[in-house]
């Protein structure tokens, strides 16, 4: 299976087009109001239409109720739901059943105990995204551009395929792929010039570096 590359937190037509042209497999759109990458449903409708089947569209949501999830799906035309909050395994399963879309559960990790907790989502989520655990005082979830200790992933069941996130960038994604061997990689702040503002050159460099590393 080839490496899947996800570029998350896109909010403009220019950066979306750059990611698509560079070969991103999945585009993440952020619907967390406190995030600098937040987009409205109106923007989601406009950007989602421009993907035109060229990549999969992921809707990033945090502890959203069914009404908010439904409205987001309708606006974006989402292909996959990325649940990035404190959703329980039972809630993940309920969302998948209610909306009939694949669900990817994001889990923040900092210790081996955090990694072991991922097992509770097996069979509930279609995919697992492993991210850095946010600081305790963080206003919103996510890795906040921090790289966690990849060696703690040795506690994972070796049969689990997962998407790796957390502080990835054009400079370290090749090393991450070679050391961790994830099914997919995800980047947001690592391809930005300032928080919430994507850099076209960094997007291209990240995708190129990930593709090259995945060939080895």
As given in the structure block, the two tokens for residue 187 are 């980047």
Cβ-contact 29, 48 below 8 angstroms = yes
List the alpha helices (DSSP H) in 57-172.
66-76, 89-99, 112-116
Residue-by-residue DSSP string for 18-40:
HHHHHT-SEEEEE--TTSTTB--
Which residue in this structure is represented by tokens 């439904």?
70
Query: Of these residues, 8, 65, 126, 157, which one is catalytic?
Result: 8
186 is catalytic: no
As given in the structure block, the two tokens for residue 140 are 């919103």
Q: List C-alpha distances in Å: 211 to 2, 76, 160.
A: 9, 27, 21
Query: Of these residues, 114, 131, 186, 199, which one is catalytic?
Result: 131
CA angle 37, 57, 88 (to 5 degrees): 75
65 is catalytic: no
Active-site positions?
8, 131
């Amino acid at each position: 299976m080839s490496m899947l590359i996800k570029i998350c937190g896109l909010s403009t037509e220019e950066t979306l087009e750059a990611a698509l042209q560079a070969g991103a497999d999945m585009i993440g759109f952020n619907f967390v109001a406190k995030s600098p990458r937040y987009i409205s449903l109106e923007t989601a409708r406009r950007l989602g239409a421009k993907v035109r089947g060229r990549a999969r569209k992921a809707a990033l949501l945090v502890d959203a109720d069914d009404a908010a999830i439904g409205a987001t799906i309708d606006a974006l035309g989402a292909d996959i739901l990325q649940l990035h909050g404190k959703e329980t395994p039972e809630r993940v399963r309920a969302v998948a059943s209610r909306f009939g879309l694949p669900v990817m559960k994001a889990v923040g990790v900092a210790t081996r105990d955090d990694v072991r907790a991922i097992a509770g989502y097996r069979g509930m989520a279609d995919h697992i995204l492993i991210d850095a655990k946010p600081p305790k005082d963080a206003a919103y979830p996510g890795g906040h551009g921090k790289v966690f200790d990849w060696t703690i992933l040795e506690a994972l069941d070796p049969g689990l395929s997962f998407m790796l996130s957390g502080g990835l960038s054009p400079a370290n994604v090749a090393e991450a792929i070679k050391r961790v061997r994830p099914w997919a990689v995800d980047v947001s702040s690592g391809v930005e010039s300032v928080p919430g503002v994507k850099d076209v050159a960094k997007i291209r460099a990240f995708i190129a570096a990930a593709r090259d590393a995945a060939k080895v």
